[in-house]
């Protein structure tokens, strides 16, 4: 084996899969080393920092759990909203179809932060919705539902027309066609991107800190303002998100692989 085989993956000379994983660990270690040198010497990384932040572990823990709760609730709700929007988009009734198009385009055309500010301070306030958490989950679900509806629509449209034809030919009602023939097949297409969307939701929920929802990011900000330990407050924050998103994205990849093999 030539020395170059340790860090090159070329057509004709493929590297073993474990080597790529090893390099991910090596590059990460290098990065960590670099960080500890640059930050270690500076004032942000001083003795006793970790002890003062450790006292607030309860705050971190509660924020982290709330982030999981918010993301999970939003995922469930956005699947419902997304399915509804996808079905309306396929409806023969034009006003319903237009409503769905408008919803998707408005949501996808504006930043999430803008939606949170607008929907919370302008809309939720005027309809008398006082519970931040409820408003937060609703806003996040609306946001994610727009993206999901496009995934669901693609999944449904990915089922060949011949499947509709034979489902109708045996006498199934339109609802039965969806229930027994179309959706089970569409779901297999949708599952991998749905897992990816869950990872996005976990990350996007951090923006809810702006309206004072005590999720993970706000918790870290509170610890920071109580201790003045920046790195010790925000490093656990980043790691806490990674601990959630990495398993989810590994799951998404595994689902995608399984789907490819079955197809």
Partner 1 sequence: MKLELRSVSKSFFSGGRPQKALMDVSFDTDFPHVLALIGPSGGGKSTLLRILAGLTSPDSGEVMIDGAFLPKAERELRAYRSRLGVVFQAYNLFPHMTALANVMLPLVQVHGIPEAEARGRALQIMERLGLADHADKHPLQLSGGQSQRVAIARALAPKPELLLFDEPTSALDPEMTAEVLKLIAELKESHTPMILVTHEIGFARKIADRIAFLAEGRVLEEGVAAEFFADPRSEEARRFLAKVLAY
Residues lying near partner 1 in the complex (CB under 8 A) are found at: 162-163, 165-173, 176, 180-181, 184-185, 188
* Nearest distance, CB of residue 181 and partner 1, angstroms: 6
Under 8 Å CB-to-CB from 68, ≥6 apart: which residues?
202, 244
Name the residue nearer to partner 1 (CB basis): 92 or 95: 92
* Nearest distance, CB of residue 196 and partner 1, angstroms: 22
Name the residue nearer to partner 1 (CB basis): 176 or 249: 176
* Nearest distance, CB of residue 253 and partner 1, angstroms: 22
* Nearest distance, CB of residue 261 and partner 1, angstroms: 11
Name the residue nearer to partner 1 (CB basis): 35 or 170: 170
Under 8 Å CB-to-CB from 45, ≥6 apart: which residues?
39, 231, 232
Name the residue nearer to partner 1 (CB basis): 110 or 166: 166
Identify the three-state secondary structure at position 27.
Answer: helix
Name the residue nearer to partner 1 (CB basis): 13 or 258: 258
Token digits of residue 19: 């080597």
* Nearest distance, CB of residue 155 and partner 1, angstroms: 13
For the range 121-127, what are the long-range contacts, defined as Cβ-Cβ under 8 Å and sequence gap of 24 or more?
A: 121/211
Around Cβ 133, how many Cβ atoms within 10 Å? Answer: 16
Using CA atoms, how far apart are residues 110 and 107, in angstroms rounded to an integer?
6
Contact (CB, 8 A) for 70 and 134: no
């Amino acid at each position: 084996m030539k020395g170059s085989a340790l860090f090159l993956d070329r057509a004709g000379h493929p590297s073993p899969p474990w080597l790529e994983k090893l390099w991910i660990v090596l590059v990460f270690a290098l990065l960590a080393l670099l960080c500890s040198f640059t930050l270690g010497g500076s004032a942000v990384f001083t003795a006793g920092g970790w002890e003062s932040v450790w006292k607030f572990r309860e705050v971190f823990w509660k924020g982290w759990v709330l982030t999981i709760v918010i993301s999970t609730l939003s995922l469930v709700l956005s699947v419902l909203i997304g399915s509804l929007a996808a079905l309306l988009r396929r409806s023969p009734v034009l006003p319903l179809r237009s409503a769905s198009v408008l919803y998707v385009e408005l949501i996808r055309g504006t930043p999430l932060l803008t939606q949170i500010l607008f929907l919370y301070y302008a809309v939720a306030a005027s309809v008398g919705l006082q519970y931040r958490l409820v408003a937060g989950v609703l806003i996040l679900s609306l946001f994610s539902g727009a993206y999901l509806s496009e995934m669901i629509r693609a999944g449904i449209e990915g089922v060949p027309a011949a499947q509709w034809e034979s489902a109708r030919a045996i006498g199934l009602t339109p609802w039965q066609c969806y229930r027994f023939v179309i959706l089970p097949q569409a779901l297999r297409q949708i599952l991998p991107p749905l897992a990816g969307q869950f990872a996005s939701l976990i990350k996007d929920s951090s923006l809810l800190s702006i309206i004072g929802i005590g999720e993970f990011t706000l918790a870290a900000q509170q610890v920071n303002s109580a201790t003045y330990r920046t790195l010790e407050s925000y490093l656990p924050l980043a790691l806490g998100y990674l601990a959630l998103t990495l398993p989810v994205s590994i799951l998404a990849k595994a689902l995608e692989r399984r789907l490819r093999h079955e197809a």
